[in-house]
Amino acid sequence: MSADTTPGTRSAVKKTAKKISLLITGSGGREHGLAFRVARSPLVDRVYVAPGNAGTALEPGVENVDIQPMDFDALLAFAREQQVGLTIIGPEMPLVAGVVDRFQAAGLACIGPLRLAARLEGSKSFAKHFLEKYHIPTAAYQVFTQPNEAIDYLQHQQYPVVIKADGLAAGKGVVIAADRAEAEGTVKAMLGGTLVGDAGSRIVIEEFLVGEEASFIVIADGVNYVPFASSQDHKAAFDGDRGPNTGGMGACSPAPVVTDAVHQRILDEIISPTLSGMRAEGHPYTGFLYAGLMIDAEGMPRVIEFNCRCGDPETQPLMSRMKSDLVQLCLAAVKGELANQTIEFDRRAALTVVIAAEGYPGNYDKGKMIEGLDDIIDETVKVFHAGTVVKKNSVKKSNMKKSSTEKSRVLTNGGRVLGVTALGDNVTDAQRKAYAAVQKLKFSGMRYRTDIGDRAVRRESLVENSVAIS
Ligand code: AMP
Ligand code: GLY
């Protein structure tokens, strides 16, 4: 996907505008997606990613910096030294720990919620109490810290039931228990500290919602917001939504389940009351707000969870489709000036297939050579990197084939390795292109789901058939 195929806004912005340096923290596919998009902004002259991955290292206009996202002192020192004009925080943990508070206190622009607003993700019980207080639709629930009380409660529940650790648990804090025995075992393991440590010292037990999931992300300035296009994640490890929960094995945008009517309901019944509720609580929400939603058969959206940052892998298709200047939007959000901003997405659909290392989300090997990155030449395809690293000390041999550019020195370095993303006329077309590109890639132990986007594709064919009939 070249800059030309995803028209940017270079020509739309005055040439005289002072350009800024920009810092992104994190090292996943989301951060590569964000870096790819902001590097195309006419407002930016340099993009740093701390610590980044091989994809950000090789991305034109982007440079990696060896600082971890939780090392706030080092990030602040770097931002001051390099006169960084905007920092975008990728992952949730630093947000929940108050990184934006630190940047703000230092007078540095940083997009994300303050610590107390980030509790929408950092504490499931905070989020559930908040949703209840402001009558925002969500699953019925109870909060527990005592195993006996939780086990009593389980006697009167319908199954399956959902058990969630209150705190951040890196995707391992949600268990859908099929029956009472499994639920009791999970409650004991979470509250006993053996499943997710301290994050499980308080738990939420909630009703299992039925429907189709969608992700809905907005950028907010505390009062106003601008919604992104809808998207859909695929969280289970294996085809047919089977296997353990992962960070996300693929995503597409738009999510056809989010029709225009559903979109409006999400804005009116979820996003607007959430932002006004957070204001009423004295914690106006600034930054990216991600609502994980369940849409039922009647098109009613309910909140499954909030995240206080962009989704991974949803960001990859979203950044591929975004035509507006993300930097302009972030700067407006930080200044509380989103009211007059608009946002535009490419009318085409985008789909990302995550390529993972065998064993993920459990144990997996690292350091496998990735082949085929140079063979993907379709301009509507972009391979975003996640767990990758450029091989150190690799010497370019003089007899190397011309096509052996730097990309051929990329090694695996994580569970989710790549996010192969394609733009297409609709999700069906984007899916075909993304999987064609996946065939060109190879590393030992490579695996991926083969059904990313199938739900969206089914909805598209239903619409096509009904148009044909009418
Ligand atoms: P979370 O980390 O809260 O997004 O949960 C991970 C996944 O568990 C979600 O993407 C859903 O697939 C599933 N899940 C969580 N809560 C519920 C619920 N109340 N009903 C049905 N599925 C749920
Ligand atoms: N894709 C799910 C998440 O970012 O939490």
Give me the residue label for tokens 């200044």: 335
Task: Give me the helices (H) in 216-271, please.
Answer: 260-266
| Atom 6 (ligand 1) nearest CA | 174
At residue 175, the 3 state secondary structure works out as strand
Residue pLDDT, tens place only, 322-376 = 999 999 999 999 999 999 999 999 999 999 999 999 999 999 999 999 999 999 9
What's the first-to-final CA gap in the chain, in angstroms? 37
For 149, 183, 186, 418, the CA distances from 152, given in Å and listed in that order, are 5, 11, 14, 44
Query: Cis ω on the peptide bond leading into residue 227 (within 30° of 0)?
Result: no
52 within 8 A of 27, measured Cβ to Cβ:
yes
The Cβ of residue 451 has, within 10 Å, a number of other Cβ atoms equal to 16
CA atoms of 327 and 22, how far apart (whole Å): 9
Residue pLDDT, tens place only, 25-55 = 999 999 999 999 999 999 999 999 999 999 9
The Cβ of residue 271 has, within 10 Å, a number of other Cβ atoms equal to 20
Determine whether the shortest distance from the Cβ of 248 to ligand 2 is under 6 A: yes
Q: What is the separation of C-alpha 399 from the centre of its chain, rounded to a whole number of angstroms? A: 41
Residues of the chain under the 70 pLDDT cut: 1-17, 393-408, 467-470
The Cβ of residue 116 has, within 10 Å, a number of other Cβ atoms equal to 16
CA atoms of 345 and 313, how far apart (whole Å): 17
Determine whether the shortest distance from the Cβ of 454 to ligand 2 is under 6 A: no
CA atoms of 466 and 470, how far apart (whole Å): 6
Give me the residue label for tokens 């999510």: 255
Query: Cis ω on the peptide bond leading into residue 7 (within 30° of 0)?
Result: no
Question: What residues pair up with 141 in beta bridges, in sequence order?
Answer: 206
Residue of 123, 125, 231, 305 to test ligand 1 pocket, by largest number of atoms within 8 Å of CB? 305
CA 398, 404, 407, 408 torsion-angle sign = negative
Give the pLDDT of residue 405.
52
Q: What angle do CA 362, 65, 390 make, to 5 degrees?
A: 55
Give the pLDDT of residue 9.
45
At residue 3, the 3 state secondary structure works out as coil
Query: Which ligand 1 atom minimizes the distance to the CA of 233?
Result: 10
Determine whether the shortest distance from the Cβ of 213 to ligand 2 is under 6 A: no
Whether the full predicted model's pTM is greater than 0.85, yes or no, is yes
Give the pLDDT of residue 407.
56
Determine whether the shortest distance from the Cβ of 311 to ligand 2 is under 6 A: yes
